[in-house]
Amino acid sequence: MIKRHWTPQEADEWRKEDWIAIVLSPLCYILLTLGTALTIFMLVSGYIMLGVGIVLTVLLHWVIDPKLKAISTEYESRQQQYLSELEAKVRWEHRNPDES
């Protein structure tokens, strides 16, 4: 169901694990925010919200972390070249194909 082992190249694609994170993440924010406040008031609804929020936060990271690690590994190998291109651009050394 959930892919836990990614090659760096596979991780670069937008897959269902990304969409799970996109859906879960705002839910975690809402549940943790309301759950904290209502838990301080010692309301049952607060305990439930906070509990579900914590479980979903753990799940969110369990789903997305292996993919983020793989993306980072892949990207780091190229970062230096991209940085030198960016520096060339800010110094106007970069030739824009449109202007050639």
Partner 1 sequence: MNVTFTFLDWLWVGLFLALMVGSGILFYRLGRRSESDFFLAGRGLPWWLPASSVYATHTATDTPMWITGVIYRHGMAGIWYTFFCGWAAISAFVSTRIFRRSLAYTQAEWNVVRFTGLGSELLRGWMAGWQFFMNMFVLGWVGIAMGKVCEFLFGWPTWIGLVVFSLVCAIYVLASGYWGVVMADFQQGIIAFLVIIIVSAWGIHTAGGPTGIMDQLAALGELDRINPFAFTGWWSGDFPIAWFITMMMIAILGGFGMGTTIDWYVEAQRIQSSKTVRDASYSIWWGTILGLIRNSVWAVAILAFFVMFPGLTETSEYEMGWFRLGFDYLPAGMLGFFFAAILAIHLSTISSHLNLGALYATRDLYQHYVNPKASQKKLILVGRISTAILLLGSFFYGLMMEDITSWLIFALWIMAAGIWLPNILQVVWWRFNAWGYLSSWIANLGFSWLVVWILPALNVIPPLPDYQQFWILMVLGALVYIPVTLLTKAESMDHLVHYYVMSRPIGWWGPVRREAEQRGYLLSNGEAVAEAAYLSRPASDF
Looking at 7, 16, 51, 55, which residue binds partner 1 (CB under 8 A)? 7
* 64: nearest Cα among 30, 6, 18: 18
- 35 contacts 44 by C-beta, under 8 angstroms: no
Taking the alpha carbons at both ends of the chain, their separation in whole angstroms is: 49
Closest separation between CB of residue 92 and partner 1, Å? 5
Closest to partner 1 by CB, 10 or 59: 10
Helix, coil or strand: residue 20? helix
Which stretches of the chain bind partner 1, using CB under 8 A?
Answer: 7, 9-10, 12-14, 18, 21-22, 25-26, 28-30, 32-34, 36-38, 40-43, 64-65, 68-69, 71-72, 74-79, 81-83, 85-86, 88-92, 94-100
